Structure 1
């Protein structure tokens, strides 16, 4: 099985093709040789039995009908001597020709001894008929009446006996050849059936591991394809995800921001963008160390995920302690309340921050921009406005939300202590 698995698919199919071709060739060869054997049996049956029997029957017919009838008509004065002699002479030539043809056919060794005896009898009979024809032609009426019918009858009976023996032998041979023909036919049928079963069995035996191997290869390919897809998805996710917080990164923000802005312009939906910053994060890092600083970034990211759960809420880590939130199809009031809730949830973590002048715990400042974009809306002013609002939130004492739309005034929100 390991060997089959190691073979290439192309080579496996070549093996299968070679097996099928070999099976067809083997079946064809067996069929050819056996059909040739059957042909020989048919030839033996036809040329060795049917034709010889036909010739012997014609010889008997010449003796029993032609010659006997001519002699009878001569004796009863129904034929004149010349015509009777001509008929007997014609039958004699016919017998000689048929006997010569019969002898020319293939004869087995054990047939030759009886054939020699029969040939002597036929030659004696032909010689007698020649003399009989000559005697009829040259004799007077009185002499013709004296010709012995008994002698002719004895000759005819003797030839009938000889030919009957040969006919009996030929019939026996014909039955034997027919039996051999049927035997050869059955043998050919069984051989072809055996070869067919062998080819099918061999094909199944070879095809099962081949197709199993192909199936395993297919499964391996599917598995590898799924692994590749998963790896690509993982790679794609990694390329757009911040490794520390598992939020979307700045690169993906650039793609999503322009896409969402275009969609909101097309659908005439409101758009909200928040820019968040952890208050006095540099001091936090200096006081508690970078590991604790990373832990606080993860904690802020977790609260963001728990607070903003809509499919259309996009959360980003833009860099350092700065985060971004992009929300579409939300009113200004709801966006403001969402920002406040996010700020309060982070305070509720109660992460100690001694260097935070706005609160005893870790806190954030949020710059919020709301707008109803149109075809004239550009992306850069929105980011600038959010950045300005964040700056103003820090200037207002931090731990607060500054909200505005692109046309309206800035709305400072008083700090809320924990």
Structure 2
């Protein structure tokens, strides 16, 4: 069961990590595409508008030189001016233009090339005006594109901000969920582990400590008593004529009777340093630390009566018409160094004396 739980936790963690990685990769690709788009807009704005305006101004200046030469009638290098104009125009004409801009430029392209074929002064003056129009057009276009760019940039900035914020929230939520699942599973495993530990030391039917746990506590009883300078007691209980009870009422009711007696013992011996065990069958044991003879005797009288007061019918008992118990106990004094086996035998002998003397009574062995 632990292995299956661990595999389930591992699978969920791997799945969550993959989701986080996918989210981060997707967000990165999205952000990169938006940044590339922003870069393209910047390129279009500066290289598609600012540089061509310089080219147009160069073309205009060279046309003005040609006009000055013709008007003032002085010698100028017409061929060189023509070459410069055509080169600058070729650069401008082949630069990036949208469809609307291309329609405007195409008409001017025809007019510009016609000036050198006709070679008339009025043609040069007309083309200067058209170039001047182009400069204004490019300036206005650049202004509009910048305006659109600023709006897009602001929208994109907000978009990126909210996406980053969303990613942070998502990442935080996923991490919080992972932590929650880990804590939850850890608590479940801790609870299961505690349950397994409790189950390993608990009698499944009566829900008091089992014989295995008794052996652990009993084997260390003398060491605990010696270390703390405590007197301690070991008590053995046996239900009187329990075989006859089972024969008369059946094992199901026998189990019910055992649970009731065990519960009575557990409720009575419920203080710190008091341990109640089922030793086997209808036999129970109790270990009490830091106790003296008078208190022990008082306890045995009271618990003996409490079992009788349960009023569990037992018609085949030779003592009473209800279930009763016989009790044997021993007091251990610190630093007497009696072995655990000897203590158990003395308590068992005390129990035997209670039975031999008529049952439904207690006997305490006190000695070194």
Q: TM-score, normalised by structure 2?
A: 0.74
Distance 2:206 2:67 in 1: 119
Q: Aligned runs of 1:102-181 on 2, under 5 Å?
A: 102-106=85-89, 108-111=105-108, 115=112, 119=116, 167-181=128-142
CA shift, 1:24, in A, is 2.5
1:362 counterpart residue number:
323
Contact 1:318-1:324 within 8 A present in 2 as well: yes
Distance 1:208 1:247 in 2: 50
1:238 aligns with 2:246: no
* Change in CA separation of 1:296 and 1:168 when aligned onto 2, cut-off 3 Å: same
Distance 1:257 1:98 in 2: 117
2:44 counterpart residue number:
37
1:340 counterpart residue number:
301
Contact 2:238-2:282 within 8 A present in 1 as well: yes
Contact 1:55-1:98 within 8 A present in 2 as well: yes
User: What SS is found at the alignment partner of 1:242?
Assistant: coil
Q: Aligned runs of 1:141-290 on 2, under 5 Å?
A: 167-191=128-152, 226-290=187-251
Q: May I ask how many residue pairs the two structures share in their alignment?
A: 341
* Change in CA separation of 1:298 and 1:194 when aligned onto 2, cut-off 3 Å: same
2:4 counterpart residue number:
none
From 30, 33, 48, the equivalent of 2:56 is 48
Distance 2:70 2:300 in 1: 134
Contact 2:330-2:346 within 8 A present in 1 as well: yes
1:101 aligns with 2:84: yes
Distance 1:219 1:296 in 2: 45
Alpha-carbon displacement from aligned partner over 1:144-187 (angstroms, at most 9, x marks no partner): xxxxxxxxxxxxxxx7x887765544333222112222333333
* Change in CA separation of 1:290 and 1:96 when aligned onto 2, cut-off 3 Å: closer
Q: Root-mean-square deviation (CA), in Å?
A: 4.0
Distance 2:251 2:111 in 1: 125
Distance 1:365 1:396 in 2: 10
Structure number with bigger Rg: 1
* Change in CA separation of 1:280 and 1:104 when aligned onto 2, cut-off 3 Å: closer
Contact 2:222-2:337 within 8 A present in 1 as well: no
1:21 counterpart residue number:
28
Alpha-carbon displacement from aligned partner over 1:226-280 (angstroms, at most 9, x marks no partner): 5554444434333322222221111121223335543333222222111111122
Contact 1:30-1:192 within 8 A present in 2 as well: no
Contact 1:27-1:192 within 8 A present in 2 as well: no
Alpha-carbon displacement from aligned partner over 1:65-116 (angstroms, at most 9, x marks no partner): xx89xxxxxxxxxxxxxxxxxxx76xx35x7644542343216443356546
CA shift, 1:40, in A, is 2.1
Distance 1:234 1:248 in 2: 13
User: What SS is found at the alignment partner of 2:276?
Assistant: strand
1:151 counterpart residue number:
none
Distance 2:230 2:171 in 1: 60
1:295 counterpart residue number:
256
Contact 1:276-1:366 within 8 A present in 2 as well: yes
Distance 1:115 1:350 in 2: 124
Contact 1:382-1:406 within 8 A present in 2 as well: no
2:339 counterpart residue number:
378
CA shift, 1:338, in A, is 1.0
Contact 1:275-1:323 within 8 A present in 2 as well: yes
Distance 1:349 1:11 in 2: 63
The unaligned stretches of length 5 or more in structure 2 are 1-11, 94-104
Contact 2:211-2:279 within 8 A present in 1 as well: yes
